[in-house]
Amino acid sequence: MPTVPSRRSILGLLGAAPVAVAGVFTTAGSAGADDAVRRLPRDLLPGGRFDRFVAERGAAGQFSGTILVAYRGKPVLTRSHGLADEARKVANDTKTSFDLASMTKSYTAVAIARLAQEGKLAFHEKLGAYLDGFPADVAKVTLHQLLTHTSGAGRPGQTNQRPPGEEEWDSEDDVWRGMTSYLRTLPLRFTPGTQYGYSNDGYFILGEVVAKVSGQSYYDYVRRHVFTRAGLTDTDFYTRPAVRADRGIAHGYMTQPSGERVDITTTPWLPYIGSPYHGAFSSAPDILRFATALHDNRLLSPAYTRIVTSGKHALGPADRPAVDGEIQFYGYGHTEAVTATRRVVGHSGSGPGRATNLDVFPDAGLTVIVLSNHDTSVKPIVALARQLATPG
């Protein structure tokens, strides 16, 4: 498989992009900014309640990362707080790439949908039609069930169960061979289609389907048909050596029971490379480019964009805790929520040393991005943004 390209090799492409240093906001052209001032709640603009709340959390050590608020695809507020690398005293800024954790699933779902749009696979088809070697009952789950976490395949979403020898995987091939072999040893956890059970492993299996059907590695397919098509320049599946060395990639800081934070790059929790369910890295401006490209139907046709982003399975409180009054659904690598009068589409991510969230309000032209390299929950930040974005 090909070597992951250096992030430094593409930094020269960023000359025309909006830039903000820690604590400074950027706006697009004056016309767009004026329109945003007229149409967005004042509390989502620079100096407003949202901006102040995040700054307070940053000052209190409760947030390290970048937030971005955009209107019609143009940033109207960008702030960065904290350090990307504490040892080298590198500050987070808008060019910093963060570990997206489970937000990575959105890329995998778009890749699957693109292959479906091209007639190369079908959502209703069984896994066994594409991949060999799974137990007979696992081979009968459908791609739809894998996409919506209703397949019963793989380990539970929150688990310490790890594949044998995972800590020794030291190449892209090791990760891919190790996971694909391990997943074929796991039984179903429940009868497919009968319940919701968040499954990281289900999305790895989908990534293997992408590779098999496309004839390319999963990484190459997503780079070509998602990252490049969306115009992303700070996004990739970076290797462990790249994460450790590159000053533009945030180190994740994992909170210990004592309250101390440990650099995840010094622990076995940092994998050699991410996978179809976690571990892509991206900056806030690139997340905005991805969301804009998707909702502008530049990655998929309008029909397939709607298929990916619309809810398929209703989520209860036990499935995914909701902000008060919200109704939530899981789609294909996206969650859909109805909060008061507005629809919200996106995905979150969390884990040791990372906490992320993308919210797109399609009917309002509003996007809110939160990326953190601490594992302190960003839910209070997300909840306030949703509250302020929703008409009273």
Let me know the angle formed at the C-alpha of 172 by 167 and 173, rounded to the nearest 5 degrees. Answer: 95
End-to-end CA distance of the chain: 52
The pLDDT of residue 9 is above 80: no
pLDDT value of position 114: 98
pLDDT value of position 7: 38
Please, are residues 147 and 206 in contact by the beta-carbon 8 Å criterion? yes
Residue whose pair of structure tokens reads 């900014």 in the numeric block: 33
Element (H, E) at 74: strand 74-81
Please, are residues 298 and 273 in contact by the beta-carbon 8 Å criterion? no
- DSSP states along 83-104: EEETTTTEEP-TT-BEE-GGGH
d(CA 372, CA 92): 9
**Mean pLDDT value of segment 334-350:** 92
The pLDDT of residue 32 is above 60: no
d(CA 66, CA 273): 23
Q: Which of 350, 285, 302, 305 is nearest to 18 (CA)?
A: 285
Indicate the pTM of the whole model.
0.90
Instruction: Answer yes or no: same fold for 7-100+236-389 and 106-220.
Output: yes
Would you kindly state where each structural domain of the chain is located, as residue ranges? 7-100+236-389, 106-220
How large a percentage of the chain has pLDDT more than 90? Answer: 81
Please, are residues 132 and 360 in contact by the beta-carbon 8 Å criterion? no
User: Phi then psi for 74, rounded to 5 degrees?
Assistant: -115, 130
Fold adopted by 7-100+236-389: Beta-lactamase (3.40.710)
CATH superfamily for domain 106-220: DD-peptidase/beta-lactamase superfamily (3.40.710.10)
pLDDT value of position 324: 64
The pLDDT of residue 13 is above 80: no
Burial 368-378 (b: 16+ CB within 10 A, else e): bbbbbbbbbeb
pLDDT value of position 157: 75
How large a percentage of the chain has pLDDT more than 70? Answer: 89
89: left (phi over 0), alpha (psi -120 to 50) or beta: left
The pLDDT of residue 257 is above 90: yes
Indicate the average pLDDT of the chain: 90
pLDDT value of position 392: 63
User: What is the dihedral sign for C-alpha 214, 115, 221, 212?
Assistant: negative
| Tokens at 148, concatenated | 């919506």
Q: Which of 114, 141, 108, 105 is nearest to 126 (CA)?
A: 141
Please, are residues 212 and 130 in contact by the beta-carbon 8 Å criterion? yes
- In this structure, what DSSP letter does residue 389 have? H
Please, are residues 148 and 313 in contact by the beta-carbon 8 Å criterion? yes
Distances 65 to 21, 279, 339, 374 between C-alpha atoms, Å? 12, 16, 25, 8
**Mean pLDDT value of segment 310-323:** 81
37, burial (CB in 10 Å: exposed 0-12, middle 13-18, buried 19+): middle
- In this structure, what DSSP letter does residue 129 have? G
- In this structure, what DSSP letter does residue 256 have? P
The pLDDT of residue 18 is above 60: no
Name the residue type at position 57. Answer: R
Q: What does the pLDDT look like over 145-156, one tens digit per residue?
A: 999 999 999 998
